[in-house]
Amino acid sequence: MNVLVRPAATADETRWRELWDGYTRFYEREPDEAITRHLWARILDADVPVHAVVAESDGIVLGIANYLLHENTSALTPSCYLQDLYVDPAVRARGVGAALIDWLWAQTRARGWATLYWQTRENNYRARALYDRYTPHSGFLRYVLRSPQA
């Protein structure tokens, strides 16, 4: 499959939302319109360090990757956190996820970012099979406290 990865554009909103909803449901959450609308606005705002890329083939968006750039206490340059990666289930295992990661890794190297990193659920074996091709997992455990306002 020939896959092109590029920054998300205004015209991608409908398909991005479909894939975002699939991602949200995959992680057992119901899509929230206010959060979705807010996220999409941040992605399109050049002054906010939230970004998205899409992977397409023959003009059809097949996958999305939302990422954040942030300062790092252990490096002189920013880090890239790949927060959300989702590929249409109909085209999984055809290189779309790898194309998204490859694009971000190329950007990391070209822009001098300190790291590219991501996380997934321990039991997300299909995704882990792809991720393990890049690097072994870091061994860190994640702890989360949620504000009641969130």
* pLDDT tens digits, one per residue of 115-126: 999 999 999 999
pLDDT the model gives residue 73: 96
Q: How confident is the model at residue 1 (pLDDT cuts 50, 70, 90)?
A: confident
E strand spans, the chain: 4-7, 50-57, 60-70, 79-87, 115-118
Q: Where are the domains of the chain?
A: 4-131
In whole angstroms, what is the distance from residue 114 CA to residue 121 CA?
24
pLDDT the model gives residue 71: 97
In whole angstroms, what is the distance from residue 101 CA to residue 130 CA?
10
Q: What percent of the chain has pLDDT over 70?
A: 99
Q: Is the pLDDT of residue 143 over 80?
A: yes
Which pTM value belongs to this model? 0.95
Cβ contact 88:57 at 8 Å: no
- Compute the half-sphere exposure of residue 150: CA atoms within 13 Å on the CB side of its CA: 4
pLDDT the model gives residue 99: 98
pLDDT the model gives residue 150: 67
83-95 tens-digit pLDDT: 999 999 999 999 9
CATH: 3.40.630.30, 3.40.640.10, 3.40.50.970, 3.40.718.10. Which one for 4-131?
Answer: 3.40.630.30
35-67 tens-digit pLDDT: 999 999 999 999 999 999 999 999 999 999 999
